[in-house]
Amino acid sequence: MFTFMQSVLVLDFGSQYTQLIARRIREIGIYSEIIPYSTPLDTIKEHKPGAIILSGGPNSVYGEDALLPDKGIFSLGVPILGICYGLQVIATHFGGEVAVSSKQEFGRAKILVDRENDVAASRLFSDIPDSDVWMSHGDKVVRMPEGFSITASSGNSEMCAIEATGSKAALKVYGLQFHPEVQHSLYGKQLLSNFLIDIAGLKPDWSPKSFIEHQIEEIRKTAGNATVICGISGGVDSTVAAVLVSKAIGKKLHCVFVNNGLLRKNEGEKVMSILKPLGLNITMVDAEEIFLKRLKSVASPEKKRKIIGRTFIHIFEEQIHEEKFLVQGTLYPDVIESVSVKGPSETIKSHHNVGGLPKRMKLKLIEPLRELFKDEVRAVGRELGIDEDILMRHPFPGPGLAVRVLGSLTKERLDILRDADEIFLEELKKQNLYQQVWQAFSVLLPVQSVGVMGDKRTYENVLALRAVESSDGMTADWAHLPHEFLSHVSNRIINEVRGINRVAYDISSKPPATIEWE
Ligand SMILES: Nc1ncnc2c1ncn2[C@@H]1O[C@H](COP(=O)(O)OP(=O)(O)OP(=O)(O)O)[C@@H](O)[C@H]1O
Ligand SMILES: O=c1[nH]c(=O)c2[nH+]cn([C@@H]3O[C@H](COP(=O)(O)O)[C@@H](O)[C@H]3O)c2[nH]1
Ligand SMILES: NC(=O)CC[C@H](N)C(=O)O
Ligand SMILES: [Mg+2]
């Protein structure tokens, strides 16, 4: 939590767009943080927010399952903007009424901005024309709260934008039925900027540089003189986290790179050599034998993940001497997935190698990137002077090739996959396609097929190639790689890799598929 930067708190009522709100705010250059809607007033006050945004959400304010924030937020004197469900919370709090609408509104709608002599009646709408916005609601305000005015309407909801005016104007409370955070709301970002900069008076001073300076200060305060351990994988997140922490505490940071036998071809040496110029204090631990021994004959994807998670812990434990803190490259989407609206009880996904780690080892966490998205982490990495070759690497999951050799693992099958995957990645780089996809890899299927090679019948493995386009890994589309390219890769793999006689290309999107196969 930053207390030294002007921040915006987004109270999460469970909207699918909550992350987008936080992101747009940071694009405007202002630091923002998402917290559960039920956060107590005292905690909210500790954040010293410069503005508060109430997100949308699936519930209805008049229903039994209505989610309501601490009422005290309306007396803090901090400007508040409610979006969709957030607007409905505001309307009912101030004595208005919300009811189910006879016409639901999903998708595009046009708003008419209330104006006097061509000037928007509300500062929120200054320089915003009548324009398209994105709606997603089934309820609407049917009676205005007293002291509020309508500042924009749409065909279906007359009270589409409202705000406290007259004697209540000093409250600085605003509500929007539509979603300014989605791209389809054409002037949405301008509107958020009007709220944050003009109305709340916040300064756009969030940048990778200011982020780094503040983090270094925070990390020094947290770690004091203690030594700190960091699991480093050669991936973007742990590398940026490690460099940032080492800038703060220097050689007191001890990085551990585990070769779990599930890495890509020559990855161990590659990682050690690309990390070398960073001057970090890194120990490479060769744990291939123990990982493969424990994974022997295990075919269930969940069992594999659990064994890998536990074994990572085991290896880290062996490396611990006097360390008190553990650095992790946790990113914002991970945090959001594990802090749901109903609080920590509803964890959606626990990361393979972090789950049990802190509690069991009594290590305290340092997670400097937990507010950022991947592209923001890359921007921070760039500011830290980390090489593009590291920053633009595709994500690689901790369980590695174990979840890409489907079914039982053997070293032989891992090696077949490694050889094929190297050809795929090498060709992507050669043809300048590597940077055009979000992630690309190969999967060895537990299926054999008949082929003919040199007039001889073969009965060998099938390999699937996977390449996806995505912005955060939460949703993804299969990458439409050129047919010529796929044909060339397929040819090379079948000719050069013993044990594969057929190559398939995965054309499933996420959802309903996932990016990895296991
Ligand atoms: N081989 C490894 N050795 C040590 N730590 C690891 C290893 N693989 C993963 N980790 C730890 O697990 C964390 C989560 O892995 P994850 O793959 O999400 O992140 P990353 O590898 O840092 O970045 P990227 O998502 O770009 O691959 C890492 O930040 C790192 O701390
Ligand atoms: O560090 C990780 N530990 C894991 O257990 C894990 N599982 C999936 N992934 C990566 O997350 C993204 C989304 O993957 P899925 O669509 O397969 O869930 C993709 O980028 C996957 O590679 C993982 N990363
Ligand atoms: N997207 C939302 O916030 C929806 C709010 C409320 N449940 C409605 O349907 O109007
Ligand atoms: Mg990784």
| Domain spans in the chain, listed from the N-terminal domain onward | 7-199, 208-391, 410-505
Q: Does 235 count as an annotated binding residue?
A: yes
Going from the Cα of 39 to the center of ligand 3, the distance in angstroms, rounded, reads 21
For the Cβ of 311 lying below 6 angstroms from any atom of ligand 1, the answer is no
3-state SS assignment for residue 255? strand
DSSP labels, 197-223: IIIS-------HHHHHHHHHHHHHHHH
For residue 331, give the ligand 1 atom closest to its CA. Answer: 18
Going from the Cα of 399 to the center of ligand 4, the distance in angstroms, rounded, reads 9
How far apart CA 454 and CA 218 sit, in angstroms, is 65
**Residues with pLDDT less than 50, the chain:** 1-4, 339-358
* pLDDT value, residue 341: 43
For the Cβ of 397 lying below 6 angstroms from any atom of ligand 1, the answer is yes
Nearest Cα residue to 261 out of 422, 443, 419, 409: 409
CB neighbour class for 279 (10 Å; exposed up to 12, middle 13-18, buried from 19): exposed
- What are the residues facing 10 on neighbouring strands? 34, 53
Nearest-CA residue for atom 23 of ligand 2: 397
What is the fold of 410-505? Answer: GMP Synthetase; Chain A, domain 3 (3.30.300)
Task: Report domain 7-199's class.
Answer: alpha beta
* pLDDT value, residue 349: 37
């085991």: which residue's tokens?
314
């010529």: which residue's tokens?
484
Q: Does 82 count as an annotated binding residue?
A: no
* pLDDT value, residue 336: 61
Q: Does 236 count as an annotated binding residue?
A: yes
Tell me the best of 233, 312, 357, 515 to mutate to test the pocket of ligand 2, counting ligand atoms within 8 Å of each CB and taking the most: 515
Nearest-CA residue for atom 5 of ligand 1: 231
For residue 236, give the ligand 1 atom closest to its CA. Answer: 26
3-state SS assignment for residue 106? strand
Going from the Cα of 351 to the center of ligand 2, the distance in angstroms, rounded, reads 9
How far apart CA 163 and CA 172 sit, in angstroms, is 8
* pLDDT value, residue 363: 74
For the Cβ of 510 lying below 6 angstroms from any atom of ligand 2, the answer is yes
For the Cβ of 398 lying below 6 angstroms from any atom of ligand 1, the answer is yes
* pLDDT value, residue 360: 55
Going from the Cα of 397 to the center of ligand 2, the distance in angstroms, rounded, reads 5
Q: Does 268 count as an annotated binding residue?
A: no
342: phi then psi, degrees, rounded to nearest 5 = -85, 5
Nearest-CA residue for atom 11 of ligand 1: 231
CATH fourth-level superfamily of 208-391: HUPs (3.40.50.620)
């949703």: which residue's tokens?
475
Q: Does 387 count as an annotated binding residue?
A: no
Going from the Cα of 383 to the center of ligand 4, the distance in angstroms, rounded, reads 21
Nearest Cα residue to 235 out of 208, 255, 217: 255
- What are the residues facing 257 on neighbouring strands? 284
State the number of CA atoms in the 13 A half-sphere of 258 facing the CB. Answer: 26
For residue 101, give the ligand 3 atom closest to its CA. Answer: 10
Q: Position 201: which residue type? A: G
What DSSP designation does 197 have? Answer: I
Catalytic residues, by residue number, are: 84, 179, 181
Nearest-CA residue for atom 7 of ligand 1: 233
Going from the Cα of 209 to the center of ligand 4, the distance in angstroms, rounded, reads 24
Closest-lying ligand to the alpha carbon of 229?
Answer: 1
- Asked whether 136 and 106 are in contact (CB, 8 A), the reply is yes
Residues across the chain: 518
> pTM here?
0.78
Nearest-CA residue for atom 4 of ligand 3: 137
* pLDDT value, residue 332: 76
For the Cβ of 516 lying below 6 angstroms from any atom of ligand 2, the answer is yes
For the Cβ of 397 lying below 6 angstroms from any atom of ligand 2, the answer is yes
* pLDDT value, residue 361: 58
For the Cβ of 515 lying below 6 angstroms from any atom of ligand 2, the answer is yes
Going from the Cα of 81 to the center of ligand 4, the distance in angstroms, rounded, reads 37
What tens digit of pLDDT does each residue of 464-515 get?
Answer: 999 999 877 777 899 999 999 999 999 999 999 999 999 999 999 987 888 9
> Would you say the CATH fold of 410-505 matches that of 7-199?
no
Instruction: Output the ligand 3 site: residues, CB below 6 A.
Output: 15, 56-60, 84-85, 136-139
Going from the Cα of 215 to the center of ligand 2, the distance in angstroms, rounded, reads 27
* pLDDT value, residue 4: 44
402: phi then psi, degrees, rounded to nearest 5 = -60, -30
* pLDDT value, residue 335: 65
Q: Does 415 count as an annotated binding residue?
A: no
CB neighbour class for 297 (10 Å; exposed up to 12, middle 13-18, buried from 19): exposed
Closest-lying ligand to the alpha carbon of 516?
Answer: 2
For residue 395, give the ligand 2 atom closest to its CA. Answer: 20
Beta strands per DSSP E along 454-499: 456-469, 477-478
Tell me the best of 228, 229, 233 to mutate to test the pocket of ligand 1, counting ligand atoms within 8 Å of each CB and taking the most: 233
Tell me the best of 18, 135, 137, 184 to mutate to test the pocket of ligand 3, counting ligand atoms within 8 Å of each CB and taking the most: 137
Q: Does 233 count as an annotated binding residue?
A: yes
